[in-house]
Amino acid sequence: MRVTLKQHCTGTTLIEVMVTVVILAISLIGIAGLQVFGVRHNHSAYLRSQSTILAYDILDRMRANRTMSATTSAYLLNFGDFVPPAGTDCSDDSQTCTPLEIAQYDMSQWATAVAGVMPLGEAQIQVQDLPDRRIYTISLKWRDRRDTNDPEEIITPFVYRAEL
């Protein structure tokens, strides 16, 4: 005796597969959105770290050239000021540089680093003279586009104060 099975194609399996594909696509889009969000905030944290490194860099340069940093305004800078390139390359050991030339070289190198690392980066160095010490305020600001709801540029400030 021969048994014949009649198959009915109703399309249920196809609908299940399509629903699964839609759910998977939505999940992948969500994961991609989280990845973009994470990368933006990671870059923002990177820029904050760089601003800290830059602030420490100029403070170390001022400490190394205490003759100029403690008595003159050679290491002062306002936002938007142009820092001319140094006339003498004081990194070369064969060169003998005066403290003023070292300060000009330091400021030139530092301003170049700020402009190169920070997007639309600007810097300011101010001093507050007290009877027994000088307190320097190093301010950096740069463009940060981590806010996805606001397409405008966000200017992020960073302020560091130190006593020399």
Give me 137's structure tokens. 């305020």
Least Cα distance to 74 among 107, 97, 115, 110 occurs for 107
Phi, psi angles (nearest 5°) of residue 14: -65, -40
Which of 58-67, 120-129, 152-161 shows the lowest per-residue confidence on average (mean pLDDT)?
Answer: 152-161
pTM for this entry: 0.74
| Residues above pLDDT 90, as percent of the chain | 44
pLDDT tens, position by position, 4-52:
555 665 666 888 889 999 999 999 999 999 998 888 778 888 999 999 9
Report how far residue 142's alpha carbon sits from residue 159's, in angstroms, rounded to the nearest whole number: 12
